[in-house]
Amino acid sequence: MDLSIVIPLFNEEESLPELSAWIEKVMVENDYAYEIIFVDDGSTDNSWQIIEELRATNCNIKGIKFQRNYGKSAALNEAFRAATGDVVITLDADLQDSPDEIPELRRMIIEEGYDLVSGWKKKRYDNALTKNLPSKFFNAITRRVTKIKLHDFNCGLKAYRKKVVKGIEIYGEMHRQIPVLAKWAGFRKIGEKVVEHRPRKYGISKFGWERFVNGFLDLLSVTFVGKFSKKPMHFFGSWGTVFFTIGLCISIFLVVSKIIDASLPLTNRPLFYMGLTSLIIGMQLFLAGFLGELISRNSPGRNSYIIEKKTGL
């Protein structure tokens, strides 16, 4: 199988026939062995019925339907488990991404050796104020924090080498951070291609302004988890030590000064409360570290490595 085309969708009934015909055209022109995996993320319109009708006319079309709306990340994750193509391409269902980009994306993976190629909607057909501007800001922060040189992390049009989609798990709302997840999993060759973007033809956008708040929080989680999930004590323990030491020094200073001069007031001094608070925070952080260690020790993913090669075994 050359290609798996993965399409998450939520209430996109109008776009599906057009999209599927367009993809088919590109596949036939290039003579690819392919599959199209539609993931219906709990649509309440006729999307699933249309997918079944399309499957009746083209056996390369496959479908997964969720019981309810779990979100784009869950849809992508499920399709990645099912995909069998050497290269996996993700595409939004709303016709904003052009299937004509697929051959070049595939070529970059196969011939130029990229693990992941992300689309870059350089000229974007969305609302400038509510989407394009905040998105620029979000991308700039993500670029800085993760040191991945991409302009458009959240582009729905992406291409992956098969072992990348099999090696990462997209949980929560992490579809905006897939390049980061891939980098943490050790896939370093991440590239970018300017892609054509088109205005939404049917229906409405499924994400509101809260995407930027959530996107930012997810960025914090993903960098924290990527760095410390296997060793939570290194984070909590070091800050715990800092706070506890500060508290201890203040307490020792206060006790010594009280011994030297018994008339000095103790409990009505700000320093006393600062020392006390610092000691408590320090201990709390240690406690959080120990709990984190227990959780990570018992988590099923504690030893999940991706083995690249073996010899003599």
Residues in contact with ligand UDP by the rule CB under 6 A: 8-10, 12, 41, 69, 71-72, 75, 92-94, 96, 156, 205-207
175 closest CA partner among 60, 264, 99, 79? 79
Task: For Mg ion, give the closer residue by CB, 96 or 139.
Answer: 96
Task: Describe the chain by its helix, strand, coil percentages, rounded to 5.
Answer: 55, 10, 35
Closest separation in Å from C-beta 30 to Mg ion? 25
Q: Out of ligand UDP, Mg ion, none, which partner does residue 13 contact, by CB within 5 to 8 A per kind?
A: none
Task: For Mg ion, give the closer residue by CB, 9 or 250.
Answer: 9
Among 41, 94, 101, 152, binds Mg ion (CB under 5 A): 94
Closest separation in Å from C-beta 59 to ligand UDP? 23
Instruction: Please spell the DSSP secondary structure of 10-70, one letter per residue.
Output: SS-TTTHHHHHHHHHHHHHHHT--EEEEEEE-S-SSSHHHHHHHHHHH-TTEEEEE-SS--
Q: Out of Mg ion, ligand UDP, none, which partner does residue 215 contact, by CB within 5 to 8 A per kind?
A: none
Closest separation in Å from C-beta 35 to ligand UDP? 18
Closest separation in Å from C-beta 74 to ligand UDP? 8
Decide if residue 152 touches Mg ion (CB under 5 A): no
- For 19, 36, 47, 261, the CA distances from 3, given in Å and listed in that order, are 16, 8, 23, 80
Which range, of 24-32, 65-73, 93-101, 191-199, touches Mg ion by CB under 5 A?
93-101
Closest separation in Å from C-beta 294 to ligand UDP? 34
Could you tell me the two tokens for 86?
């050497």
Task: For Mg ion, give the closer residue by CB, 20 or 96.
Answer: 96
Q: Is 20:93 a contact under the CB 8 Å cutoff?
A: no
Task: For ligand UDP, give the closer residue by CB, 125 or 273.
Answer: 125
Task: For ligand UDP, give the closer residue by CB, 92 or 218.
Answer: 92
Closest separation in Å from C-beta 147 to ligand UDP? 24
Q: Out of ligand UDP, Mg ion, none, which partner does residue 72 contact, by CB within 5 to 8 A per kind?
A: ligand UDP
Q: Out of ligand UDP, Mg ion, none, which partner does residue 50 contact, by CB within 5 to 8 A per kind?
A: none
Q: Which helix (H) or strand (E) holds 120?
A: strand 116-120
Decide if residue 96 touches Mg ion (CB under 5 A): yes
Q: Is 112:72 a contact under the CB 8 Å cutoff?
A: no
Task: For ligand UDP, give the closer residue by CB, 78 or 192.
Answer: 78
What contacts 24+ positions apart, CB below 8 Å, involve 276-282? 276/247, 276/251, 277/247, 278/243, 278/244, 278/246, 278/247, 278/250, 279/243, 279/244, 279/247, 279/248, 279/251, 280/247, 281/243, 281/247, 282/240, 282/241, 282/242, 282/243, 282/244, 282/245, 282/246, 282/247
Q: Is 125:94 a contact under the CB 8 Å cutoff?
A: no
Q: Out of ligand UDP, Mg ion, none, which partner does residue 85 contact, by CB within 5 to 8 A per kind?
A: none
Residues that bind Mg ion (CB under 5 A): 92, 94, 96
